[in-house]
């Protein structure tokens, strides 16, 4: 009997093994012939895999299945018949309408839910600016308060992240955040991006992602430019406030070259804008971008890209509340409450100091080689270089410090940035289980010359140099990441080590010794896919944000690399075929908050903690009508101060965005959207308040194969709102003493513009 059981078992195993077909393939875009990542390849019983960066997949197909399905957002759904003799497929996907019913909840990739939401939004809502790109991230808000040329202020998950201190931003693997920047740590100016060249983006909230290091506390955002244009483009835009923009993007190689794996294009973007201010901004910007890709043999892809950008502007700057409205609240230098009833001296769009503004430039070069090796190994090697220049003139306090010459100051720097990113990825398959192993190395070397903060009378006359010197900052990192996908479970474990070296050649004082530090970060993420409509996940990990090199060298009580510890508990749910819901509760503890003043210097903050709830909903009402909503709650607090005194200034507590998008078959498309930011504390004890706002935008387009006509309206209902607010101690001419009060930059009123785009 025992022999019979053993013989039957061996026969059963043999039959099962023979009854499975190992299928491999590659999925590419029908038009561009470029590989497509994150395509879902499925068989029966929910078994599926995702394509990698090179569009490759491997799937074990049971003998009783003779059909595989292919789905990806923005592409037509496909069913493909296979036979026992089918071993390798080359599948071309055609662009098509977005259909949420084809979005599958799979057991793969611990960040695929965010990628799904991001890809969906990018397909439905085209973007025309760096602000638009950032606002694609659910719960992320931006503010511009210095004439359009500075990096946007970023708010996410209860963080006033300044200009990027707690949000890691990259484009094609090159970092956007600038360490030890003259205006603030992590300064992330995205204006060198031409939005029309962005084909996808992904994001993650929290410090849970092994491949992202410095500044990844509130989260990260990564943008990818197109390797090849779907079509050539020339676009002209114009509107109120002397707004003018022209964009062109042209493929340089023939279709024959495309079939041989070669692609090249150039893009340019020129922009001018005066803004709604009484003192015209004269904002101008010029962007140029070029990219070349080619196959080197069957298994290698070489990508070379270069860009250059320059901008200049002048700014009305921030305005104290009392300058435009009597009866506002302020405090004197002793902390006594004041009711300020002086008559207004300017209107909301006026200016007090007209010598504010600046100019900036950035040039980038990237070389990347992606190689498909034997045994399911993929190797990526990337070298990059950036030359950067920055000049800024600001006066937010007027005569509070210097009652004679005023408080105007100048910040500037010149930077060379060198970097390397390397990543080796391996996928091991058995049955329908997958182990994905990633090993990464990176190096970043920042050489900043003449980093300056000085008080000036005008833009050129220096009264006093407060800081002047050369900064050297190096960051070397290594990480290992293992992801096991077994049945309905996904387990991701990652470990990362970062080494920093800081050196500052002070031109005003004696040389101080250099410093270095090392930080290790662990990540653990668990995911359970109940079925094709419900997935649960737990994310946890440690991250960090580095400090400014000068603060590290001066050793003034600031930690070198304060750690962040966080966790997310959430789920992805499709209760209906065209309804996608993603809620998550989260917690984040930060060892030290960085508090920045207007002059870019850093004050040592306390330990902080944040707890919150994020909810994102995407619903397709009909074949042509889509709805989305994001609701975000946060409770940000100083962990070392008593209740009532422990608010974090400007940290958002409740935000919401959403809208309706439509795409008709006759070419009409558009959207109406809103963004809501609730009022929040202006200082630690909430005696000052930063006002909230509700703003709606409208876009209407008529799109045909060869052209597009469109209209966009910002602030459709002409709401009176403040784009930026902050506590400032200011003194205007004629005032006897400084006043502690909220200052603001007004938000744009009703602003309409038209566009004409030609495709060829």
**In the structure encoding, which two tokens stand for residue 631, read together?**
């609701």
pLDDT for 506 equals: 94
Q: What pLDDT, in 10s, does the model give residues 479-520?
A: 999 999 998 899 999 999 999 999 999 999 888 889 999 999
pLDDT mean over 44-60: 78
What domains lie within the chain, and their CATH numbers? 18-96 (2.60.40.1120), 114-750 (2.40.170.20)
pLDDT for 342 equals: 86
- Please choose, from the candidates 221, 166, 215, the residue with its C-alpha nearest in 3D space to the C-alpha of residue 198: 221
Phi, psi of 367 (to 5 degrees): -125, 125
Q: What pLDDT, in 10s, does the model give residues 658-702?
A: 999 999 999 999 999 999 999 999 999 999 999 999 999 999 999
Q: What pLDDT, in 10s, does the model give residues 361-411?
A: 999 999 999 999 998 899 999 999 999 999 999 999 999 999 999 999 999
Element (H, E) at 124: helix 112-124
Q: How far is CA 357 from the centre of its chain?
A: 25
pLDDT for 109 equals: 62
**In the structure encoding, which two tokens stand for residue 495, read together?**
């470990």
pLDDT for 8 equals: 39
Q: Indicate the pLDDT class of residue 55, thresholds 50, 70 and 90.
A: confident
pLDDT mean over 521-543: 95
Q: What pLDDT, in 10s, does the model give residues 155-205?
A: 999 999 999 999 999 999 999 999 999 999 999 999 999 999 999 888 999
> In this predicted structure, which of 420-424, 463-467, 554-558 has the lowest mean pLDDT?
554-558
**Is residue 64's pLDDT more than 80?**
no
Concatenated DSSP letters of 489-558: EEEEEEEEEEEEEEEEEESSS-----EEEEEEEEEEEEEEEEETTEEEEEEEEEEE-PPPHHHHHHT-S-
The DSSP call for residue 734 is T
**Is residue 257's pLDDT more than 90?**
no
pLDDT for 301 equals: 94
pLDDT for 68 equals: 86
- Please choose, from the candidates 117, 40, 157, the residue with its C-alpha nearest in 3D space to the C-alpha of residue 582: 117
pLDDT for 155 equals: 96
pLDDT more than 70, % of the chain: 94
**In the structure encoding, which two tokens stand for residue 535, read together?**
């997935």
- Please choose, from the candidates 113, 127, 106, the residue with its C-alpha nearest in 3D space to the C-alpha of residue 528: 106
Distance, in Å, from the CA atom of 388 to the CA atom of 445, rounded to the nearest integer, reads: 13
Residue 517 to residues 522, 594, 680, Cα–Cα distance (Å)? 17, 18, 36
**Is residue 598's pLDDT more than 60?**
no
**Mean pLDDT in the chain?**
90
Q: What is the largest CA-CA distance in the chain?
A: 106
pLDDT for 5 equals: 41
Residue 48 to residues 22, 44, 105, 416, Cα–Cα distance (Å)? 13, 8, 10, 45
pLDDT for 40 equals: 86
pLDDT more than 90, % of the chain: 71
Residue 266 burial (C-beta neighbours within 10 Å; 0-12, 13-18, 19+) = middle
pLDDT for 111 equals: 60
**Is residue 759's pLDDT more than 60?**
yes
Residue 66 to residues 17, 62, 90, 92, 286, Cα–Cα distance (Å)? 16, 8, 17, 19, 54
pLDDT for 423 equals: 97
Spatial contact of 443 and 420, defined as CB atoms under 8 Å apart? yes
pLDDT for 653 equals: 98
Q: What pLDDT, in 10s, does the model give residues 72-104?
A: 888 888 888 887 777 788 899 988 888 888 877
Query: How many C-beta atoms lie closer than 10 Å to residue 474's C-beta?
Result: 17
Q: What pLDDT, in 10s, does the model give residues 686-695?
A: 999 999 999 9
Residue reference for tokens 């200052």: 743
pLDDT for 6 equals: 45
Q: Indicate the pLDDT class of residue 532, thresholds 50, 70 and 90.
A: confident
Q: Indicate the pLDDT class of residue 755, thresholds 50, 70 and 90.
A: very high
| Number of residues in the chain | 760
Q: What pLDDT, in 10s, does the model give residues 298-320?
A: 889 999 999 999 999 999 889 99
pLDDT for 501 equals: 96
pLDDT mean over 319-342: 92
**Is residue 18's pLDDT more than 60?**
no
pLDDT mean over 569-597: 92
* Ramachandran category for residue 715: left, alpha or beta (phi over 0 → left; psi -120 to 50 → alpha): left
Residue 191 burial (C-beta neighbours within 10 Å; 0-12, 13-18, 19+) = buried
- Please choose, from the candidates 600, 644, 653, 295, the residue with its C-alpha nearest in 3D space to the C-alpha of residue 452: 600
């Amino acid at each position: 009997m025992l022999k019979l059981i053993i013989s039957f078992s061996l026969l059963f195993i043999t039959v099962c093994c023979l009854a499975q077909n190992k299928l491999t393939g590659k999925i590419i875009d029908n038009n561009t012939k470029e590989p497509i990542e994150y395509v879902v390849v499925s068989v029966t019983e929910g078994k599926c895999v995702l394509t990698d960066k090179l569009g490759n997949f491997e799937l074990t197909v049971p003998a009783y299945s003779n059909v595989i399905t292919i789905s990806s957002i923005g592409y037509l759904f496909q069913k493909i018949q296979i036979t026992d003799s089918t071993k390798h497929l080359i599948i071309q996907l055609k662009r098509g309408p977005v259909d949420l019913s084809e979005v599958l909840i799979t057991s793969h990739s611990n960040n695929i839910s965010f990628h799904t939401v991001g890809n969906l939004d990018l397909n439905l809502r085209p973007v025309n600016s760096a602000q638009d790109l950032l606002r694609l991230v659910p719960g992320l808000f931006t503010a511009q308060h210095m004439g359009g040329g500075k990096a946007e202020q970023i708010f996410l998950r209860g963080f006033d992240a300044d200009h990027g201190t707690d949000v890691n931003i990259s484009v094609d693997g090159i970092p956007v955040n600038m360490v030890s920047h003259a205006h603030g740590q992590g300064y992330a100016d995205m204006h060198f991006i031409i939005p029309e060249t962005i084909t996808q983006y992904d994001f993650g909230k929290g410090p849970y992602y092994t491949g992202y290091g410095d500044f990844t506390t509130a989260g990260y955002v990564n943008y990818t430019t197109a390797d090849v244009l779907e079509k050539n483009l020339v676009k002209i835009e114009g509107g109120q406030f002397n707004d003018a923009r022209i964009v062109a993007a042209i493929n340089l190689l023939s279709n024959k070259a495309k079939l041989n794996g070669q692609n090249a294009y150039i893009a340019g973007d020129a922009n001018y804008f005066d803004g709604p201010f009484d003192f015209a901004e004269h904002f101008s910007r010029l962007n140029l971008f070029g990219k070349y890709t080619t196959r080197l043999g069957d298994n290698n892809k070489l990508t070379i890209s270069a860009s250059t950008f320059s901008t200049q502007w002048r700014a009305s700057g921030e305005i104290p509340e009392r300058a435009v409205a009597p009866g506002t609240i302020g405090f004197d230098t002793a902390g006594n409450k004041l009711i300020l009833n002086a008559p207004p001296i300017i209107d909301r769009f006026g200016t007090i100091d007209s010598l504010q503004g600046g100019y900036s430039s950035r040039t980038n070069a990237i070389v990347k080689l992606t190689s498909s090796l034997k045994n399911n190994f993929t190797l990526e090697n990337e070298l990059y270089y950036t030359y950067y220049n920055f000049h800024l003139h600001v006066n937010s306090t007027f005569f509070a410090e210097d009652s004679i010459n005023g408080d105007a100051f100048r910040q500037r720097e010149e930077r060379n940035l060198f970097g390397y990113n390397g990543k080796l990825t391996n996928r091991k398959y058995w049955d329908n289980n997958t182990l994905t192993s990633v090993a990464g190395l990176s190096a970043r070397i920042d050489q900043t010359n003449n980093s300056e903060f000085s008080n000036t009378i005008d833009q050129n006359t220096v009264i006093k140099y407060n800081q002047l010197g050369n900064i050297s900052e190096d960051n070397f990192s290594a990480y290992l990441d293992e992801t096991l996908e077994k049945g309905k479970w996904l387990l991701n474990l990652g470990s990362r080590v970062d080494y920093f070296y800081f050196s500052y050649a002070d031109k005003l004082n004696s040389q101080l010794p250099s410093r270095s530090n090392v930080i290790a970060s662990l990540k653990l993420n668990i995911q359970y896919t109940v079925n094709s409509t419900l997935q649960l996940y737990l994310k946890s990990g440690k991250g960090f944000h580095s400090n400014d090199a000068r603060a590290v060298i001066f050793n003034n009580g600031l930690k070198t690399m304060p750690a962040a510890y966080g966790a997310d508990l959430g789920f992805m749910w499709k209760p209906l075929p065209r309804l996608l819901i993603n809620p998550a509760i989260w917690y984040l503890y930060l060892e030290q908050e960085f508090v920045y003043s207007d002059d870019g210097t850093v004050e040592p903050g306390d330990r902080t903690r944040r707890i919150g709830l994020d909810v994102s909903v995407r619903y397709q009402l009909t074949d042509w009508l889509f709805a989305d909503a994001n609701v975000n709650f946060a409770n940000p607090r100083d962990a070392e101060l008593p209740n009532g005194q422990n608010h974090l200034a400007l940290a958002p507590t409740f935000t919401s965005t959403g809208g309706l998008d439509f795409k008709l078959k006759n070419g009409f498309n558009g959207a109406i959207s809103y963004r809501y930011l609730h009022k929040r504390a202006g200082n630690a004890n909430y005696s000052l308040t930063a006002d909230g706002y509700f703003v709606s935008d409208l876009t209407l387009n008529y799109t045909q194969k060869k052209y597009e006509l469109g209209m966009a309206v910002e602030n459709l209902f002409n709401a009176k709102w403040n784009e930026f607010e902050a506590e400032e101690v200011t003194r205007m001419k004629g005032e006897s003493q400084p006043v502690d009060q909220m200052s603001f930059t007004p938000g744009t009123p009703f602003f309409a513009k038209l566009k004409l785009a030609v495709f060829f």
